[in-house]
Amino acid sequence: MRAKLFCCRIRPAKVEFAQNEFERTLMFGDNVLKTGSNEMELVDFRIFKKAENKVYEGIYGVNVAKVREIIKMPNLTELPGVPEYIEGIFDLRGVVIPVINLARWMNIIEPTEGVVIKPRVIIAEFSGILIGFIVHEAKRIRRINWKDIEPANFAAGAGTLDKGKITGVTRIENDEVLLILDLESIVEELGIYSPKIEFDVTDDQKIKGAALVLDDSSTARKLVKDALEKMGLSVVEAKNGVEGLERMEELYQRYGDNLTKELRVILSDIEMPQMDGYRFASTIKNDDRFKDVPVVFNSSLSNEFSEVKSKEAGGAAYLTKFDAGVFYQEVLKVIEAHSKSAK
């Protein structure tokens, strides 16, 4: 059963970190992350686990683009009748933020001795919603190429984090493994965010042609696919940018020079293993066969920086997941603009 919690929506703002090292690295680093580089930056954080009288260090990450700031533990107000992993709420400059204990969410027994825990709260933003996550230590920012991130294909261990809550894994120094958590699934579990999936389309409003959908989440792909099919389009799917390029080649073999007339739009997520949405879009925009097909980014990264990067990559529109009515209007607008320019 889902626990229902309030929803805090906010205006986009620049990322702020309470820890000076993070702030300097992100805001003033010499190597600014370039659009189309197929790289991402992660906040590397640690969760310690007690098992069989030993303490183990779990290495985890979350995309910097989703992080608003990192703070020391605030004073929390407890809430009755919520799951035990919800530690409480606090006021952050006039916005009430729910705070999740990640160790409890992951069914991890926290050690009480044998390790020095330096708790921090990572304030993250998903689709305009702010939520805090307690971690045992915020370590550093890492830059990782998406091609080095693999899907989580391992089986879940008893009583531990299941693979459905992990978006990818990557190797770091000393051959250790970093797990990229799907923190958005907490938002869904709490019922804070529920996609609006209903919209009306009459037969005379339906569009002929095909659409390509890229997303590593099967749930997100289905949402987008269902909406596009309701609009009248046939849908081709891909799980990442590499598969997306393969689908583009297959579609070109099918349609030849008529591809830009038949393939009406591409809907792409941004965060995907192997090749992200920015790199995918930049690649097809540099290919004369594909460059005129409009790309719409559909992502939970609801910040101004991500929207700017999407335009740099050649995106025609940027949507945060998922309101079917807004989705329909924006996609229709892009398709109609493309049809006019192609005449």
- Residue 189 near residue 2, CB atoms below 8 Å: yes
Residue 9: its pLDDT value, please? 39
Gap between the Cα atoms of 126 and 105, Å rounded: 18
0.85 exceeded by the pTM?
A: no
CATH at 95? 2.40.50.180
Residues 6+ apart with CB under 8 A from 290: 248, 252, 259, 260, 284
Residue 6 clears pLDDT 50, i.e. is over it: no
Residue 38 near residue 145, CB atoms below 8 Å: yes
For the four alpha carbons of 287, 289, 291 and 293, in that order, the dihedral sign comes to negative
| Gyration radius (Cα) of the chain, Å | 21
Task: Select from 317, 340, 336, 314 the least CA-distant residue to 327.
Answer: 317
User: Alpha-carbon distance 49 to 102, whole Å?
Assistant: 11
Q: How many residues would you count in the chain?
A: 343
Same domain, 215 and 178: no
In a domain, 194, yes or no: no
pLDDT over 50 at 60, yes or no: yes
Q: Report the pLDDT value the prediction gives residue 21, as an integer from 0 to 100.
A: 47
User: Taking the C-alpha atoms of 154, 155, 156 and 162 in order, what is their torsion angle to the nearest 10 degrees?
Assistant: 60
**In this structure, is residue 9 part of a structural domain?**
no
Helix axes 241-255, 277-285, angle to 10 degrees: 30
What are the phi and psi torsion angles at 202 (to 5°)?
A: -85, 165
Task: Summarize pLDDT for 139-161 with one digit per residue, the tens.
Answer: 999 999 888 988 776 544 434 55
Same-domain check for residues 39 and 179:
yes
Same domain? For 33 and 175 the reply is yes
Residues 245, 166 share a domain: no
Range of the domain at 246: 203-342
**pLDDT score for 149:** 87
Per-residue confidence (pLDDT) for residue 14, from 0 to 100 = 35
Final residue in a domain of this structure, among 189, 213, 235: 189
**Residue 120's pLDDT is what?**
96
> What are the backbone angles phi and psi of residue 87, rounded to the nearest 5°?
-75, -30
Q: How many helices (H) and strands (E) does the chain have?
A: 9, 15
CA separation for the pair 295, 239 (Å, rounded):
16
Q: Is the pLDDT of residue 16 over 70?
A: no
Mean pLDDT of 52-56: 89
Instruction: Specify the 3-state DSSP secondary structure of 140.
Output: strand
Note whether 232 and 308 are same-domain residues.
yes
Same domain for 262 and 321, yes or no, is yes
58/177 same-domain check: yes
- Same domain? For 166 and 253 the reply is no
pLDDT band at 222 (very low <50, low <70, confident <90, very high): confident
What pLDDT shows up at residue 151?
A: 76
Q: Of 189, 222, 244, which residue constitutes the final position of a domain?
A: 189
Q: Specify if 15 maps to a domain.
A: no
Same domain? For 145 and 35 the reply is yes
